[in-house]
Structure 1
Amino acid sequence: MSQQNNVPAGIALMLAATVIFALQDGISRHLAGAYNTYMVVMIRYWFFAAFVVALAARRSDGVRAAARTEQPGLQILRGLLLAAEVCVAVFGFTILGLIDSMAVFICYPLIIAALSGPILGERVGWRRWMAIAVGCIGVLIILQPGSGVFNIWAVIPLISALMFALYGLLTRYAARRDSTETSFFWTGVSGAVAMTCVGLWFWQPMAPSDWGWMATLCVSGALGHWVLIKCYEMAEASAVQPFAYFHLLWSSILGITIFGEHLRTSVVIGAALIVAAGLFTLWRERAQGRAR
């Protein structure tokens, strides 16, 4: 992948990706509220797998080269973990709504920072640990575990964030020996195989109008990944990653305007702490990268 240095274009593509992913979340919530989550995710993965195979087929060395890896177990584990995370996340949308789910889920970069030491052997300094602690306080403010209104289902997006963080760490680990194209291929194919084995048992007839939404979900998923790939081709990840938090803004707008959700004060305060901690962590990574 040829790296360019066009930061404004990279930021624009990242913002476009967050809009697409937020729309994808809204459609997922609608469909999973009417049909089984496993079936919805399975159909989405069918299109995703077709997309990655088509990308691999365009390579001069073909699909076989894209699938070639010396660590198939790790690649399959990554694919299974992401497929399971998508199921948990979509289920959380139907239980908690978009706003509360995304407000907690955005803590995943902090979980990655916390686990990068024991899993990848990376050094995590005291400043990052302070940022992680602030992010944890933000999550606790959102979940309100000590209050009488605590909902046990509120831990679903936290589980989703942990799973996505582990997926991200495994992706970093796999990148030491495999290319981005190889990891992307195994993500789509292994996830599609796993979801087919599960989702076929939960097949439900779908209304014609909802097939239109399903098609939109599939296309938006592939488009979002393509835009994200182009984003990282245009600019360094450290320059555009802070704008990924706009995903929470668009999801909140959808939740309020389409699904009638309410924005709680505790969610605003907690999400602000998580975003601030995440931005600080990204800044530290960028500063240390320049110092090397």
Structure 2
Amino acid sequence: MNRLPPQPVDLPTTPIQVPPPANPGKAPTNPPVAAILMTCLVALIFAIQDGISRHLGGAYSPFLVVMLRYWFMAVFVTVIAARSTGGLKHAIRSKKPWTQLLRGLLLVGEVVIVVFAFVKLGLIETHAVFACSPLLVSALSGPILGEKVGWRRWAAVGIGFLGILVILNPGVTVFSPWAVLPLISAAMYATYLLLTRYVARYDTSVVSFFWTGISGAIAITLIGIWYWQPLLPADWIWLLLLCVCAASAHWLLILAYEMAEASALQPFSYLQLVFIAIIGFGVFNEPLRMNVIVGAVIVVAAGLFTLLRARRAAHQA
């Protein structure tokens, strides 16, 4: 699910990762219809991906599920890197290897936590809380990147977290330890996005893509291998579909962001919340509580406001 990020360099679970504008100095323009349609389709594919993750995470350890996903991811990024300019030799050479390693660890940890959240809280409530990640990007961009954060953006962050309180329904869900999972996941994801923006100053997107997939695969294998168990034949099909969803969504993202800027397309990625609500309610019989709907609207509105402010600032610059 944010996105002010830089490039689609991971195997996300929710929010859609956004690459940096191809021409940072260029004033924002309206995105073409094809780019908008691709972004909407990506939101649908990611929602389906998360539904499959919830299904598999309920039958097997999330560590095992994520490990198998990352094995596919490692092969995928290696092929992409090998076919890029400079090949694997270029992809391996990072000017910020420790930061790249930290990015990979943050992302794979976020993926594991969010799959646990899908199983314990459900798709709808997890995504409603996770929608605050763009607000966390705004809040953390100051201390991490040294960017100026004005009072309007801080106000939007505050309003967004009021929306989270509405979702968590203080006095009931907020005291459940599982309610903290999507918040932790969103914070890790926001940090990952800001670090991606930081390393983009030194490394190409291919380098970041490669390091994200490989470091994440190695890290999760050290843990996930201890949770190994045979998968049912039908679940291998679901796992394959999960990997295909990730690869196809990333490919569509790349195409979309070649045609339009991230800030212009980001609002359409919030459609994922709608698709998630349909899947959660229709497939998994999750309740669609009014406080979750109201809270999600508040969080999304605050996120859209921060995107609008960033777009205006870019236009003025």
C-alpha contact 2:167 2:291 (8 A) present in aligned 1 = yes
C-alpha contact 1:102 1:248 (8 A) present in aligned 2 = yes
Aligned pairs (5 A) from 1:157-168: 157-168=182-193
Q: Secondary structure at the match of 2:270?
A: helix
Does 1:285 find its partner at 2:317?
no
Q: What TM-score, normalized by structure 2, do the two folds share?
A: 0.89
C-alpha contact 1:3 1:234 (8 A) present in aligned 2 = no
> CA deviation digits over 1:179-226, x for unaligned, max 9?
111111111110011111111110011100000001111111121122
C-alpha contact 1:79 1:188 (8 A) present in aligned 2 = yes
Separation (CA, whole Å) in 2 of partners of 1:85 and 1:231:
25
Separation (CA, whole Å) in 1 of partners of 2:102 and 2:174:
37
Does 1:25 find its partner at 2:32?
no
Change (3 A) 1:176 1:60: closer
Counterpart of 1:222, as a letter, is: A
Unaligned runs of at least 5 residues, structure 2: 1-18, 24-28
2:128 equivalent in structure 1: 103
Q: What TM-score, normalized by structure 1, do the two folds share?
A: 0.97
Separation (CA, whole Å) in 2 of partners of 1:80 and 1:46:
15
Q: Secondary structure at the match of 1:176?
A: coil
> CA deviation digits over 1:27-68, x for unaligned, max 9?
000001000110100000011111111011112421111221
Counterpart of 1:172, as a letter, is: R
Does 1:182 find its partner at 2:207?
yes
Match of 1:125 among 136, 139, 150: 150
Aligned pairs (5 A) from 1:128-277: 128-147=153-172, 150-277=175-302
**Aligned-pair distance for 1:152?**
2.6
Counterpart of 1:96, as a letter, is: L
**Between Structure 1 and Structure 2, which shows a larger proportion of helix residues?**
1
Separation (CA, whole Å) in 2 of partners of 1:83 and 1:103:
21
Root-mean-square deviation (CA), in Å? 1.6
Separation (CA, whole Å) in 2 of partners of 1:23 and 1:11:
19
Separation (CA, whole Å) in 2 of partners of 1:229 and 1:39:
28
Q: Quick check: 123-132 or 141-150, which moved more? A: 141-150
Change (3 A) 1:120 1:155: same
**Aligned-pair distance for 1:147?**
4.3
Unaligned runs of at least 5 residues, structure 1: none
Separation (CA, whole Å) in 1 of partners of 2:172 and 2:76:
46
Change (3 A) 1:67 1:267: same
Query: % of aligned pairs identical?
Result: 54
Separation (CA, whole Å) in 2 of partners of 1:105 and 1:261:
17
Q: Secondary structure at the match of 1:123?
A: coil
Counterpart of 1:169, as a letter, is: L
Separation (CA, whole Å) in 1 of partners of 2:59 and 2:173:
30
**Aligned-pair distance for 1:144?**
2.0
Does 1:86 find its partner at 2:111?
yes
Counterpart of 2:179, as a letter, is: A
Separation (CA, whole Å) in 2 of partners of 1:148 and 1:255:
18
